[in-house]
Amino acid sequence: MKTFDPTDFIPGVSLDCVIFGFDGSRLNVLLLRLRGFDEWALPGGFIKTDEHGDDAALRVLKERTGVSDLFLQQFKTFTHPDRTKVHVQELLRKGIIDENAREYFTSRFISLGYYALTNHNIVKPAPDYLSEECAWHPLDAVPELLYDHRAILEEALEEVRLDLQYHPVGQNLLPKKFTMPELQALYEAILDKELDRRNFSRRVMSYGIVEKLDEHRTGMAHKAPRLYKFKKSAYEKALKDGLSNRW
Amino acid sequence: MKTFDPTDFIPGVSLDCVIFGFDGSRLNVLLLRLRGFDEWALPGGFIKTDEHGDDAALRVLKERTGVSDLFLQQFKTFTHPDRTKVHVQELLRKGIIDENAREYFTSRFISLGYYALTNHNIVKPAPDYLSEECAWHPLDAVPELLYDHRAILEEALEEVRLDLQYHPVGQNLLPKKFTMPELQALYEAILDKELDRRNFSRRVMSYGIVEKLDEHRTGMAHKAPRLYKFKKSAYEKALKDGLSNRW
DNA sequence: ATATATTGTGTTTAATTGACACATCAATTA
DNA sequence: TAATTGATGTGTCAATTAAACACAATATAT
């Protein structure tokens, strides 16, 4: 593995990714456990000297998940001057960081917060060079996090919920073909609230972003639910221009 | 005036403020014209080594406007690697920048975008040390801007319009006591669309954030409109928790 | 005193949302 | 093989919300 070279990156700026994965019933967030730490951390990284922040985030996401087609959104930049102070000394003390990178890591960092939405099942979690574990954690059982990562996570979740009010969600979280109950379960997981099955379906159809297929999901007990798929162009138009109604 | 000392600030990170001022009928944005340039620029600045980004923005706002009580919102960070390239060479060539700051200014910058809302009339526009003019420009007559500032302005405006859907607006843009038509004019200026006078008033009252006063604005022709004021605690609660309905 | 133009309030209608009932059907089980 | 099960698909009705509109009130100007 290539060692970390601080001169490849712009100093004092990091990015942290809140990666949400939907497993069919719950939202999960992908976390790393650093070597020698009990606390977990958000997957993050740095921006190369000639790299766009969004590209850096995509690079990090690809490295941690193996997935490159996911929904990515920058939502806030965290700039508290002491935001990493609590743990950075511990990081150095434990000798996790190369000698040549000590100065780079010691400085104050501001961090670009991104959130990503992806399908839990297509992700192959891969630790980075600082960590020994990379794993999903359900939102209601998030362990202690390093730095200000808990706050970043909370704000990301709020942001997802807000974005949901105006923009379609599902493209990167569900299989190509999905049932209405599956889509509803996703919305319920994000909003953490139950929705009426019948009103939900009416609303979704009114947006014109999904298309009924002449197929059903069979193999399960009970009535076989119909399959739908997103209408690519309408979905993307709605991503850009927004939806008229809210949840 | 104290000269600019690059070591006071963190490198490679700037902030740009889109300051919106309401003059009673139109939204205006505060711009600077740099010495020797025809183009204008957003008021901006840098973050001191131990300063929170939000505090840096407040400092810049205070310097440019004299006002410290305004609504401030970070909305996006701009990270295109070439975002300042077009003009930074010109800036150096024109000798606007001190010798000791050339290296600081030459490097790539990412910029935190903030927008601010304030009352046009209480602002005393003050140029910074790089510029010779500081003036309001109505939104429909914004001149050529430096760097990517036009894009930053557009995104700020979109953000204000979006925030308006969920949060109260007016506290920092209107006088303490204001009339319903004045508040409506503000909303119309931001949304760039006409609203029904009667439905508007009903909606505003339903939020419970304004209070009828037993006073009227006199001195103008026609029926004297009633004065209102914001209910401080309800207004702040709505800022934090959001409003239920949209525009 | 009258005219003017704007403000304050109410009503009527349409659209949207929320709550709910019933028929349908794939797999299970008796 | 037929009945049972439990979730799905569609429809209806009431309540709420939003949109469109009419008219009375009134501070200045003439």
Assess contact for A36 and A72: CB atoms under 8 A: no
Does the domain at A6-148 match CATH 3.90.79.10? Answer given as yes
At A95, the pLDDT band (50, 70, 90 cuts) reads: confident
> A with B: how many residue pairs have Cβ under 8 Å apart?
55
- pLDDT mean over A197-207: 96
Query: What ranges do the domains of chain B cover?
Result: 6-166, 178-241
Which of A10, A52, A77 is facing B112, going by the closest CB pair? A77
Q: Is the pLDDT of residue A237 over 80?
A: yes
- pLDDT mean over A21-38: 95
Q: Which residues on adjacent β-strands are paired with residue A77?
A: A112
Strand pairing category for A9-22 and A110-119? parallel
Contacts of B166 in chain A (CB under 8 A): 162
pLDDT at A3: 79
**Spacing of B246 CA from C9 C1' in Å:** 23
The three-class DSSP label of residue B57 is helix
Q: Is the pLDDT of residue A2 over 90?
A: no
Tell the CATH topology of A178-241: Arc Repressor Mutant, subunit A (1.10.10)
Contacts of A10 in chain B (CB under 8 A): 12, 108, 110
Residue B160 CA: distances (Å) to CA of A127, B115, B196? 39, 8, 21
pLDDT at B234: 95
Tell the CATH topology of B6-166: Nucleoside Triphosphate Pyrophosphohydrolase (3.90.79)
Interface test with A, best of B7, B8, B9, B10 (most A CBs within 10 A): B10
- Please, is B29 exposed, middle or buried when counting C-beta atoms within 10 Å of its C-beta (0-12, 13-18, 19+)? buried
Q: Is the pLDDT of residue A244 over 80?
A: no
Q: Give the span between the Cα atoms of A172 and A107, in whole angstroms.
A: 36
Scanning every strand, the nucleotide with its C1' closest to A201's CA turns out to be: D9
B217: CB within 7 A of chain D nucleic strand: no
pLDDT at B244: 76
pLDDT at B245: 64
Assess contact for B44 and B146: CB atoms under 8 A: no
What's phi and psi for A40, nearest 5 deg? -105, 170
Q: Which of the two residues, A111 and B3, has the higher pLDDT score? A: A111
Tell me: the pLDDT tens digits for A125-166? 999 999 999 999 999 999 999 999 999 999 999 999 999 999
The encoded tokens of residue A54 equal 């969004």
Assess contact for B168 and B178: CB atoms under 8 A: no
Residue with tokens 């990515």: A72
Assess contact for A117 and A71: CB atoms under 8 A: yes
**Running along chain B, 247 residues long, what does each successive block of 10 average in pLDDT?**
86 98 95 96 98 98 96 98 92 89 94 97 95 97 97 97 93 95 97 96 95 95 96 96 76
Q: Scanning every residue of chain B, which has its alpha carbon at the shortest distance from the alpha carbon of A242? A: B162
CB neighbourhood size of A167 (10 A):
17
CB neighbourhood size of A114 (10 A):
27
CB neighbourhood size of B243 (10 A):
18
What's phi and psi for B238, nearest 5 deg? -70, -30
Residue A52 CA: distances (Å) to CA of A4, A9, A25, A59, B196? 19, 11, 34, 11, 44
Instruction: State the average pLDDT for chain A.
Output: 95
pLDDT at B95: 87
